[in-house]
């Protein structure tokens, strides 16, 4: 989902310190004499993580017994734009890779969020406010009807409970066995579907539209968190074969590749696509004037578009009669943009997509699917495998931000599939963090590139209100300020881990090893925390406690600068908040020079007071903590002091 915020970038001017970086000064490693120490609750105490086992190891990696289910779908559906009714039938092939026999299969029916009896409707769940974007979860009037649930000739007993449904299998499905379930269903597409699916005139962006099997895993068994709107989705990986029948004047794009191009594309479009597949520059597959004249074409019948996708966790599609269609290629990946003729800002969108896919591929993990497509339209930003929905936008900056954000989700969580309904920080947060670098690459040399990197800290000042803030570990449905706790606070957290705690190389390697280890798998928060500690070679429980599992606040202070009889200057530093972080101390000397000392986190091992000693012979004229002002320090007034 889209954390639309960057429309109005602001620049923070930071003092620039020309200083020498010193890591050790004589006398700085002596034990504390005057600190009270941590009494019982040391911030370094271990976190209460899930017990490691042979499925998920103590090193945060998938173990030798790791398993996950495989769920393939064969779907045939028809969408009638005159009624906006979508009728489908699907065959779910469920492979039980778990070591347990299963007597039921649970389905997710997200479209039932729009049912008048849904929990969101009954409770009138308030909209999610995201800066300038509003996500309303009270879409009107429809929902999904299961017309038939069967295995072969046999109807299966089933019970719909809002956005989930329980299906009784005729016999328990043994470990390692496969079964097929057939479902016929009907749903009507709302105009505005909770920020995920919807339509604008004849443009359709369709998602979370078919009955999907819930994840069964080793952590929770069946993952049945109801869909209230805020959490996105958590799905198994599988293969899709989807046939969509629509009026023949529509152009369609979807998760997966078109397997019957001769039936749905003109020869000219196919030859332009061939050219695009050899071009780094965008090739118009449907030009602006063609799109305009296509608008006047009437349907003379229907067409069936057939798509196939492998190893994806969902399937979404979009269609309109009047799409412009640009395509290019990066490293064998077809980069596509679909937009209406009026959305002229989108002429740059293909380039933006190309740079985003290249950047994330080189930085994180190679993009694994044959195409990466983004569609302009009514949704305020939403991601599905191979396809993303992005709004029209009015500035290049805003367009790039949302576009690269939705593509960033191809990595978190489309490849590294954490549970979005539980841990927004592990997908929206990781993604917001990587998006900032993507903006810096695309807008290099532009003020927007400088503005974006300080945005999380600026937002901290605005959003992180003591006593009101919630821990980022809470699920999305329980967050009052998901924009902060799910997106920008995690981005600030990872930025500080990268630059202030571990250093860039050490952080990047650990983050990359986590990404590779869990690609196409289901990592938990415990797995991530263990993987980072093991790869970085540093216990970080203190860090995650402060940032993820509490609302601890940071307040580093210089509470004394004095000179001993022996001429040693003692600088007393205190951590007054519950959050601990390493400290950076700028020491100004009477001779006009300044030295910067970086004190590692172990400075707090003996308690919240640490004394730094400057050897005799140098006169200190003043000290400043966090001289670059990179920390969310609650009280900056106590960061400076003179003897
Ligand atoms: Zn998002």
- The CATH number for 618's domain is 2.60.40
Distance from the alpha carbon of residue 411 to the mean position of ligand 1, in angstroms: 11
Cα 314 to middle of ligand 1, angstroms: 16
| pLDDT of 28 | 38
Taking the centre of ligand 1 as the mean of its atom positions, its distance from the CA of residue 595, in whole angstroms, is 41
| C-alpha of residue 389 to centroid of ligand 1, in Å | 11
Is 459 a residue whose pLDDT tops 80? yes
| Cα(125) to centroid(ligand 1), Å | 20
pLDDT at 165 over 80: yes
Q: Which of 135-149, 279-293, 443-457 has the lowest mean pLDDT?
A: 135-149
Mean of per-residue pLDDT scores for the chain: 92
CA of 383 from ligand 1 middle (Å) equals 7
3-state SS assignment for residue 559: strand
Tell me: do 514 and 571 sit in the same domain. no
How many angstroms does the Cα of residue 43 sit away from the middle of ligand 1? 31
Q: Provide mean pLDDT across the span 238-258.
A: 98
Q: Has residue 240 got a pLDDT over 60?
A: yes
Q: How far apart are CA 448 and CA 442, in angstroms?
A: 10
Rounded to the nearest whole angstrom, what is the distance from the C-alpha of residue 146 to the centroid of ligand 1? 30
CA of 1 to the centre of ligand 1 (A): 3
Least confident segment among 35-44, 196-205, 532-541: 35-44
What is the per-residue pLDDT across 114-157, written as a single tens digit (0 to 9) for each? 888 888 778 887 777 777 777 777 776 678 999 999 998 999 99
- Asked if 372 and 497 sit in the same domain, the reply is no
Q: Tell me how far the alpha carbon of residue 476 lies from the centroid of ligand 1, in angstroms.
A: 12
pLDDT band at 587 (very low <50, low <70, confident <90, very high): very high
Verify that 333 and 444 share a domain, yes or no. Answer: no
Specify the pLDDT at position 364.
96
Ligand 1: distance of its center to the CA of 2 in Å?
Answer: 5
What number is the average pLDDT over the span 90-100? 98
Residue with tokens 């080189």: 362
CA of 487 to the centre of ligand 1 (A): 8
CA–CA separation, 620 vs 633, rounded Å?
24
Tell me, yes or no, whether 276 and 385 share the same domain: yes
Q: SS3 for 251?
A: strand
Q: How far is the CA of 426 from the centre of ligand 1 (A)?
A: 11
Cα–Cα distances (Å) from 49 to 221, 418, 475, 525, 530, in that order, read 18, 16, 17, 8, 9
pLDDT at 4: 59
144: CA distance to ligand 1 center in Å? 26
As a residue count, the chain comes to 643
Ligand 1 centroid, distance to 472 Cα (angstroms)? 15
List the structure tokens of 170: 């005729």
518 — pLDDT class (breaks 50, 70, 90): very high
The verdict on 601 and 508 lying in the same domain is no
N-term to C-term CA, the chain: 51
Q: 374: CA distance to ligand 1 center in Å?
A: 14
pLDDT score at 1? 66
Cα 425 to middle of ligand 1, angstroms = 10
The percent of residues above 90 in pLDDT, for the chain, comes to 82
Does the pLDDT value for residue 31 go beyond 90? no
429 lies in the same domain as 527: yes
What is the domain extent for residue 279?
A: 237-406
Residue 404 CA, ligand 1 centroid: distance in Å: 10
Residue 206: inside a domain, yes or no? no
Q: Let me know if residue 47 belongs to a domain.
A: no
Residues 6 or more apart whose CB falls under 8 angstroms from that of 553 comprise 464, 466, 577, 578, 579, 634
Answer yes or no: do 293 and 360 share one domain. yes
Å from CA of 486 to ligand 1 middle: 9
Same domain, 400 and 253: yes
Q: Above 70 in pLDDT, residue 171?
A: yes
Asked if residue 498 and residue 600 are part of one domain, the reply reads no
Backbone angles phi, psi at 494, to 5 degrees: -70, -35
Q: Give the pLDDT confidence of 358-373 residue by residue, as tens digits.
A: 999 999 999 999 999 9
Distance 196 CA to ligand 1 centre (A): 11
Give the Å distance between the CA of 428 and the centre of ligand 1.
5
Q: HSE on the CB side for 253, CA within 13 Å? A: 30
Q: Are 166 and 314 found together in one domain?
A: no
Q: What string of DSSP letters covers 106-122?
A: EEE-GGGGGSTTSHHHH
Percent of the chain with pLDDT over 70: 94
Quickly state the pLDDT bin for 15 (edges 50, 70, 90): very low
Give 10-13's long-range contacts (Cβ < 8 A, gap of 24+): 10/451, 10/455, 10/458, 11/447, 11/450, 11/451, 11/454, 12/454, 12/457, 12/458
pLDDT for 232 equals 79
pLDDT-based confidence at 13, cuts 50/70/90? Answer: very low
Pair 267, 393 in one domain: yes
Is residue 596 domain-resident?
yes
* Full-model pTM: 0.92
In the reported structure, the alpha carbon of residue 381 is separated from the centroid of ligand 1 by a whole-number distance in angstroms of 7
Q: Is residue 178 part of a domain?
A: yes
Number of domains in the chain: 4
Residue 412 CA to ligand 1 centre (angstroms):
9
Does some domain include residue 412?
no
pLDDT at residue 197 tops 90 = no
Give yes or no for residue 103 having a pLDDT over 80.
yes
Q: Classify residue 349: in a domain, yes or no.
A: yes
What does the pLDDT look like over 610-631, one tens digit per residue?
Answer: 999 999 999 999 999 999 999 9
Residue 151 Cα to ligand 1 midpoint, Å, equals 37
Give the CATH number of the domain where residue 522 resides.
1.10.390.10
User: What does the pLDDT average to over 165-194?
Assistant: 94
On whether residue 262 sits in a domain, the answer given is yes
- Cα 183 from Cα 230, distance rounded (Å): 27
The Å distance, Cα 129 to ligand 1 centre, comes to 14
Ligand 1 centroid distance, CA of 402 (Å) = 8
277 and 396 in one domain?
yes
Per-residue pLDDT at 141: 65
* pLDDT (average), residues 471-484: 91
Q: Between 479 and 118, where is the model more confident?
A: 479
> Which of 526, 544, 562 corresponds to the end of one domain?
544
In the chain, DSSP finds a helix count (H) and a strand count (E) of 14, 35
406 CA to centre of ligand 1 in angstroms: 6
8-state DSSP, 501: I
Task: Say how many Å lie between the CA of residue 382 and the centre of ligand 1.
Answer: 7
Query: 629 CA to middle of ligand 1, Å?
Result: 28
- In contact, 369 and 312? CB cutoff 8 Å: yes
User: Which residue among 406, 431, 451 closes a domain?
Assistant: 406
Indicate whether 204 belongs to any domain. Answer: no
* pLDDT score, position 194: 73
Q: Express each pLDDT in 388-445 by its tens digit.
A: 999 999 999 999 999 999 999 999 999 999 998 899 999 999 999 999 999 999 999 9
Query: Cα of 405 to ligand 1 centre, how many Å?
Result: 6
- Would you place residue 36 in the very low, low, confident or very high pLDDT band (cuts 50, 70, 90)? low
């Amino acid at each position: 989902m889209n954390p639309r915020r960057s429309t109005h970038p602001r620049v923070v001017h930071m003092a620039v310190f020309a200083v020498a970086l010193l890591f050790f000064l004589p006398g700085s490693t002596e034990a504390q004499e005057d600190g009270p120490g941590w009494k019982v609750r040391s911030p370094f105490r271990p976190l209460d993580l899930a017990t490691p086992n042979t499925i998920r190891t103590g090193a945060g990696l998938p173990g030798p017994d790791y398993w996950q289910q495989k769920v393939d779908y064969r779907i045939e559906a028809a969408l009638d734009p005159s009624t906006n009714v979508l009728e489908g039938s699907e065959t779910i092939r469920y492979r039980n890779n778990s070591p347990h026999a299963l007597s039921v299969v649970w389905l997710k029916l997200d479209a039932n969020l729009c049912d008048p009896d849904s929990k969101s409707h009954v409770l009138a769940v308030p909209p999610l406010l995201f800066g300038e974007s509003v996500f309303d979860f009270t879409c009107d009037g429809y929902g999904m009807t299961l017309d038939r649930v069967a295995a072969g000739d046999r109807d299966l007993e089933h019970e719909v409970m809002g956005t989930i449904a329980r299906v009784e299998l005729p016999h328990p499905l043994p470990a390692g066995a496969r079964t097929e379930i057939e479902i016929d269903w009907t749903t009507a597409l709302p105009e505005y579907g909770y920020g995920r699916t919807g339509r604008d005139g004849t443009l359709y962006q369709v998602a979370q539209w078919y009955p999907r099997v819930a994840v069964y895993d080793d952590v929770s068994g069946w993952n049945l968190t109801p869909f209230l709107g805020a959490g996105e989705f958590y799905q198994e990986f599988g293969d899709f074969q989807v046939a969509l029948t629509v009026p023949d004047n529509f152009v369609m794009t979807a998760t997966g590749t078109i397997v019957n191009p001769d039936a749905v594309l003109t020869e000219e479009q196919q030859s332009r696509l061939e050219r695009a597949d050899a071009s780094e520059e965008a090739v118009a597959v449907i030009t602006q004037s063609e799109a305009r004249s296509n608008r006047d074409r009437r349907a003379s019948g229907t067409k069936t578009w057939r798509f196939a996708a492998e190893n994806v966790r969902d399937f979404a599609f979009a269609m309109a009669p009047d799409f412009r269609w640009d395509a290019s290629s990066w490293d064998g990946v077809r980069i596509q943009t679909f937009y209406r003729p009026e959305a002229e800002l989108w002429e740059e969108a293909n380039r933006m997509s190309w740079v985003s896919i290249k950047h994330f591929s080189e930085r994180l993990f190679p993009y694994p699917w044959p195409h990466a497509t983004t569609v302009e339209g009514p949704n305020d930003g939403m991601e599905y495998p191979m396809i993303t929905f992005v709004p029209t936008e009015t500035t290049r900056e805003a367009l790039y931000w949302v576009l690269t954000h939705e593509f960033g989700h191809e990595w978190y969580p489309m490849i590294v599939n954490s549970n979005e309904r539980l841990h927004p920080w592990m997908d929206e947060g990781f993604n917001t963090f990587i998006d900032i670098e993507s903006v810096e690459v695309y807008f290099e040399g532009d003020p927007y590139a400088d503005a974006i990197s300080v945005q999380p800290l600026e937002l901290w000042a605005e959003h992180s209100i003591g006593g009101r803030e919630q821990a980022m570990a809470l699920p999305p449905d329980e967050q009052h300020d998901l924009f902060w706790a799910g997106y920008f606070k995690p981005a600030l957290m990872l930025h500080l881990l990268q630059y202030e705690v571990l250093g860039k190389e050490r952080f990047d390697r650990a983050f990359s090893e986590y990404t590779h280890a869990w690609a196409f798998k289901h990592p938990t928060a415990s797995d991530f925390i263990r993987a980072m500690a093991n790869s970085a070679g540093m216990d970080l429980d203190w860090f995650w406690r402060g940032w993820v599992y509490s609302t601890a606040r940071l307040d580093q202070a210089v509470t004394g600068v004095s000179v001993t009889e022996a001429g040693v200057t003692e600088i007393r530093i205190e951590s007054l908040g519950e959050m601990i972080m390493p400290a950076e101390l700028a020491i100004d000397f009477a001779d006009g020079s300044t030295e910067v000392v970086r004190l590692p986190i172990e400075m707090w091992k003996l308690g919240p007071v640490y004394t730094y000693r400057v050897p005799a012979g140098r006169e200190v004229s003043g000290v400043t903590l966090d001289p670059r002002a990179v920390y969310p320090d609650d009280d900056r007034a106590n960061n400076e002091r003179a003897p």
